[in-house]
Chains A and B, each alone.
Chain A
Amino acid sequence: MATVSVKGVSKLFGTFRALDDVSIEFDDGGFYGLLGPSGSGKTTLLRLIAGFEFPDMGAITIGGEAVERLPAEKRDVGMMFQSYALFPNMNVFDNVAFGLTVRKLPRSEIRTRVGEALELVELGGLETRRPHQLSGGQRQRVALARAIVFRPRVLLLDEPLSALDKALRTGMQIELKRIQREIGITTIFVTHDQEEALTLSDRVGVLRDGRLIQEGAPRDLYERPKSAFVATFLGDANLLEGIVEGAAIRLDEGPLVRTTAPLPAIGSRVTVAVRPERITVSPEAQTSGGEHNELGARVEEAIFAGNSLTYMLSRGGRKLRVFAQNTGSEPVSADTPVRLVWAASDTIVVEA
């Protein structure tokens, strides 16, 4: 296995800057998620690491070796494609064995290793099936087995679960994590699904317009987003604007909002974000005050979704959103004035 390092990498397609001075260290044996909307450059970065494209600037190393000019076939990098890219003219065994046969390994060893790989992805017994005879989930497992069977230094996954239906996806997330841990391979994956990124990764990098805008452990990113973009792209957030006033923020609409986060200089404009699940909808004013924040709002709609409730609220012209667990109590009905309550420590200050 190996560490992967990307330093100051830029990639242009014509005049379009797909990647702009991106630097990331991928830990040995880590599971790194590259998250971003489409066109953010995350797939380009993956293709640069795979060797299908070469950077216009910057360096890429795998296990300390400079690889940015090495073509894909010499990089020893396993890749699983979004389309799975199984070879339709070969059966499951030959698909998985492909990386071993091109390396001219002895037949007996190929047999053993393909057997082990198929065992690992729980597909033993399907060796003679053709790709078109497999279900979507099975195809994905074959693609994964094929990408790891030759023991590459790095495993790259391009939107690994996006082609599966939701029920299958959750199962495969757990599977993928188990397999990755079992073989301990450095894994980098690309996704536009924030939940997938948070579930699978040890570290997440958020890309936007070809730039890395924030990276860290999933919890770090979720609890301490540095920008409104990250706050809303990773999960949901209610955004409020105001000006720093002492140790709190004076919202444009008037009320004061407390936070435990460090604040910029007094008088600076900031945006604060509050996660919808951290807010409680309360019918009456809380008297305890202190470390709490409280805002008045009006319920517009309460959307029932079984185990949870989503309140759509309005405050002045602003739309707000609150998630509540279904605890069995009667939901607050529409058009009711309510108080929104949350702890000062749940007020996230993002860049203005």
Chain B
Amino acid sequence: MAVSTTASGGAGRANSPTRAVVLLTGPAYVWLTIAVLLPLLAMFYFSFLTEAPIAGRVGELTLEQYREFLEHGFYTTLILRSLKLGATVAFFCFLLGFPCAYVLAKTIKGRWREALFLLVIIPFWSNALVRVFSWTMVLRGNGLLERSIDFVIPGAGSLGLMFTYPAVVIGLVHSYLPYMILTCYISLQAIDDDLIEAARSLGAKRLTILRRLILPLAMPGIVAGAVLIFVPVIGSFMEPRILGGRHGTFIGTIIEDQFTAVFNWPLGAALSFILLACVLVIFALFAPVLKRAA
């Protein structure tokens, strides 16, 4: 009797970790299934229809949307343009964000660090649309930027930045910079100061230490930041539309058009899944590099 109770008690204890895992992760997975997977599946289904089955209309199964993509080369051109935009924005975020993260993690201590962190995070708290429109005030002809330049160098002339590719990059870099700073900060902070001092005592100059020690050790953070930025930038439509104007046509804006202006949901859905496939292929190709870096 006593033996059987202990045995069942032991079994109960052995099971409880599994139950805890299910109880703790279950809600998140249920939510993800309902909120992400089901709509995505619906969209995937739409992409094979002639028209979206809403408001009583009936779509028929077809591959026409995917044929549309293959027949018109400009969709591919736009995807490549968006990939280039993603890479450019990620690169500039690294260029600006890494030094900032380094200073935050290694040079500044205590209260000042918190204050500067706040400055990094504040853009996150403001509304994205407001942020982008505030850039139009800065970048437009005779805007804040041009007037300040004109104040320093009178008669410098117009930069003509508004509604250009650089304007889109500027707006996107501003929006996504905090991701890079935060991920780099985390990996830089984990680097022991002793390592840097050890390298110095061995005769290494700053640049050598950066190249051989800090960059390799911070690589997981840099890669994480770049991925976090690259993916949403490829599909972005708001910044390109508002800041790029005529030059702001990317795959993201075309997809948005299909849903909001042209009401061709099946084509929008098909283009979305083609873009998703492109991203997955890129990550698959770079997987060995990413794995080593992380």
The yes or no answer to A79 lying at the interface (CB within 8 A) is yes
| Interface residues of chain B: helix, strand, loop or mixed (majority) | helix
Residue of B nearest to A158 (CB): B194
The yes or no answer to A342 lying at the interface (CB within 8 A) is no
- A89→B194 contact, CB < 8 A: no
Q: Which residues of A contact B192 (CB under 8 A)?
A: 83, 85
- B199→A77 contact, CB < 8 A: no
- A83→B200 contact, CB < 8 A: no
Q: A72-B200, A87-B199, A102-B208 are in contact. Are A81 and B194 (CB under 8 A)?
A: yes
| Smallest beta-carbon distance B210→chain A, Å | 13
| Smallest beta-carbon distance B77→chain A, Å | 40
Task: State in angstroms the CA–CA spacing of A89 and B208 once bound together.
Answer: 14
Q: Which residues of B contact A85 (CB under 8 A)?
A: 192, 194-195, 197-198
Interface residue tally for chain B (C-beta within 8 Å): 17
The yes or no answer to B202 lying at the interface (CB within 8 A) is yes
- B198→A81 contact, CB < 8 A: yes
Task: State in angstroms the CA–CA spacing of A147 and B204 once bound together.
Answer: 13
Task: State in angstroms the CA–CA spacing of A81 and B201 once bound together.
Answer: 10
The yes or no answer to B39 lying at the interface (CB within 8 A) is no
- A150→B195 contact, CB < 8 A: no
The yes or no answer to B100 lying at the interface (CB within 8 A) is no
The yes or no answer to B110 lying at the interface (CB within 8 A) is no
- B203→A76 contact, CB < 8 A: yes
Residue of B nearest to A149 (CB): B202
Q: Beta-carbon contacts of A73-112 to B below 8 Å, as 1s and 0s?
A: 1111111010101011100000000110011000000000
- B204→A73 contact, CB < 8 A: yes
Task: State in angstroms the CA–CA spacing of A76 and B201 once bound together.
Answer: 7
- B203→A52 contact, CB < 8 A: no
| Smallest beta-carbon distance A142→chain B, Å | 12
State which of A83, A88, A89, A103 has its C-beta within 8 Å of the C-beta of B203.
Answer: A103
Interface residues of A in 320-338 (CB under 8 A from B): none
Interface residues of B in 189-216 (CB under 8 A from A): 192, 194-195, 197-205, 208, 212-213, 216
- A73→B194 contact, CB < 8 A: no
- B201→A72 contact, CB < 8 A: yes
| Smallest beta-carbon distance A332→chain B, Å | 51
The yes or no answer to A117 lying at the interface (CB within 8 A) is no
| Smallest beta-carbon distance B187→chain A, Å | 12
- B201→A87 contact, CB < 8 A: no
The yes or no answer to A50 lying at the interface (CB within 8 A) is yes
The yes or no answer to B186 lying at the interface (CB within 8 A) is no
Q: Which residues of B contact A72 (CB under 8 A)?
A: 197, 200-201
Of B195, B203, B213, B216, chain A has the most CB atoms within 10 Å of the CB of B203
List 12 A–B pairs whose Cβ atoms lie within 8 Å, in order of A's numbering.
A51-B201, A72-B197, A72-B200, A73-B202, A73-B204, A78-B202, A85-B195, A85-B198, A88-B217, A102-B205, A103-B203, A146-B202
